[in-house]
Amino acid sequence: MSVLVVAEQLQGRVRDVTFELVTAARELGGPVTVATIGPEALDVNRAGVDEVVHVQTEQAEFENDVYQRALERLIEERQPQVVLLGFTVNSMGYAGAVAAKLGLGFASDVFGLGRDGDEVVATRAFYGSKVHAEVGFPAGKTVLLLLRPTAWAPAEAGGSATSSSIELGPVQSRARHKEFREVEKGDVDITTAPFLLSIGRGIGEQDNIAMFEELAGKLGATLSVSRPIVDAGWMSNARQVGQSGKTVKPKVYLAFGISGAVQHLAGMKTSETIIAVNSDPEAAIFDVAHYGAVADLFDVAEELAKLV
Ligand SMILES: Cc1cc2nc3c(=O)[nH]c(=O)nc-3n(C[C@H](O)[C@H](O)[C@H](O)COP(=O)(O)OP(=O)(O)OC[C@H]3O[C@@H](n4cnc5c(N)ncnc54)[C@H](O)[C@@H]3O)c2cc1C
């Protein structure tokens, strides 16, 4: 089953989601082609990639119209059975338009992929992740899928792909990339932190945040939060985990006073080790936690602080 992966890049660096897409593509059996779009070819030659195709464009950074045109051209020339893109802000800006224009099968936020004979079967969530559904795409039409970042492990190095290129020519973008602006000083990138100490409404008051900042510092963890902490204006939304915040996959996710609403779980449930502290034994966070303590979070925080 021929699969085309569209690489994502930011300021000349290939984003990790690209290599996760390669792993997913390999599960479909291949051959796997990875396309990079931009003025320069980027290194995406990971294990399992059969062909790397560079679509040469004038624009260095992402623009919807350029990527739309590039993807249409790739589909026209390569005729893949499946096209995989990350479920990212960039892809959401043009993938739906390509699928509608070319009449492709389409699903977004896919976190499981398989085959039933020639049929592609994608697993995705509905109703705020309360229901998971398998969506089948009968053979014959190209299927375009947006895959959830962090749902697959990144493909390893060591590819032996052939390479080729396509010149796209000028594209009149209706919206041009102008510049990157640094986020406010003091904000952190919780998506790359290996150890997150995450606090929720259970901490009660704004004044209690300081003790968790201190505990996080002692443990070498980065502080993240559930949405009510952001809504209350106690922390910046750069630290929010969940559906309307960041998707994280740290080695350790230590949650204090977070109930485990589906919108929160959507952003952290693939963390390698989840440890939850909650006084309610029925809290949904315990459904995804590997270790849990039914306890008062302040008692646990105090004991932990004594240990480090
Ligand atoms: C469209 C939409 C998008 C959303 N996006 C997000 C998102 O991105 N991220 C997000 O987090 N939420 C999001 N939400 C909100 C989400 O539905 C929940 O309301 C939110 O996650 C609850 O946060 P919480 O677990 O901190 O608070 P609560 O649900 O109030 O849970 C607090 C927990 O603390 C425990 N607790 C209280 N006191 C103690 C104590 N002393 N010791 C131990 N445990 C204690 C309680 O038992 C409880 O389980 C979204 C909602 C919608 C509708």
Give tens-digit pLDDT for 144-186: 999 998 899 999 998 899 999 999 999 989 999 999 987 665 5
How much is the pLDDT for 308?
85
How much is the pLDDT for 127?
79
How much is the pLDDT for 34?
98
Identify the H or E element spanning 64: helix 64-78
How much is the pLDDT for 131?
87
C-alpha 128 – ligand 1 centre gap (Å): 14
Measured CA distances, 205 to 103, 211, 212, 292 (Å)? 52, 11, 12, 23
Counting from 1 in the atom list of ligand 1, the atom nearest the Cα of 258 is 25
Q: Is the distance from CB of 81 to CB of 68 less than 8 angstroms?
A: no
In this structure, the residue with its CA closest to atom 18 of ligand 1 is 261
C-alpha 124 – ligand 1 centre gap (Å): 23
In this structure, the residue with its CA closest to atom 36 of ligand 1 is 202
| Residues having CB within 6 Å of any atom of ligand 1 | 200-202, 226-228, 240-245, 257-259, 261, 263-264, 267, 277-280, 283, 296-298
In this structure, the residue with its CA closest to atom 29 of ligand 1 is 259
Residue type, 215: L
In this structure, the residue with its CA closest to atom 19 of ligand 1 is 261
Q: Is the distance from CB of 17 to CB of 5 less than 8 angstroms?
A: no
How much is the pLDDT for 130?
75
Probe target for ligand 1 pocket from 127, 203, 226, with the most ligand atoms within 8 Å of CB: 226
Probe target for ligand 1 pocket from 259, 286, 288, with the most ligand atoms within 8 Å of CB: 259
Tokens, residue 94 = 């043009």
Beta strands 119-126; 105-116: pairing state: antiparallel
How much is the pLDDT for 188?
87
User: What is the block-wise mean pLDDT of the chain (308 residues), using blocks of 10 residues?
Assistant: 96 94 94 96 95 96 96 97 96 97 96 94 85 93 94 92 94 92 74 96 96 95 97 94 93 98 93 97 96 97 93
Q: Is the distance from CB of 260 to CB of 250 less than 8 angstroms?
A: no
- From the list 136, 189, 149, 158, the residue with the least C-alpha distance to 270 is 149
How much is the pLDDT for 159?
86
C-alpha 54 – ligand 1 centre gap (Å): 44
Counting from 1 in the atom list of ligand 1, the atom nearest the Cα of 229 is 26
How much is the pLDDT for 206?
96
Write b or e for each residue in 44-82: b if 16 or more Cβ atoms lie within 10 A of its Cβ, otherwise e.
Answer: bbbebbbbbbbbbbebebbbbbbbbbbbebbbeebebbb
- From the list 54, 39, 63, the residue with the least C-alpha distance to 6 is 54
What CA–CA distance (Å, rounded) separates 201 from 208?
A: 11
Counting from 1 in the atom list of ligand 1, the atom nearest the Cα of 296 is 42
C-alpha 222 – ligand 1 centre gap (Å): 19
How much is the pLDDT for 128?
67
How much is the pLDDT for 120?
96
Tokens, residue 142 = 């190209």
Total-model pTM = 0.68
- From the list 145, 268, 149, 252, the residue with the least C-alpha distance to 196 is 252
How much is the pLDDT for 150?
85
Probe target for ligand 1 pocket from 264, 285, 294, with the most ligand atoms within 8 Å of CB: 264
Probe target for ligand 1 pocket from 129, 224, 244, with the most ligand atoms within 8 Å of CB: 244
Probe target for ligand 1 pocket from 258, 282, 303, with the most ligand atoms within 8 Å of CB: 258
Which residues neighbour 211 within 8 Å (Cβ) at sequence distance 6 or greater?
301, 305
C-alpha 87 – ligand 1 centre gap (Å): 24
How much is the pLDDT for 185?
58
Token pair 């899928």 in the structure block, residue: 145
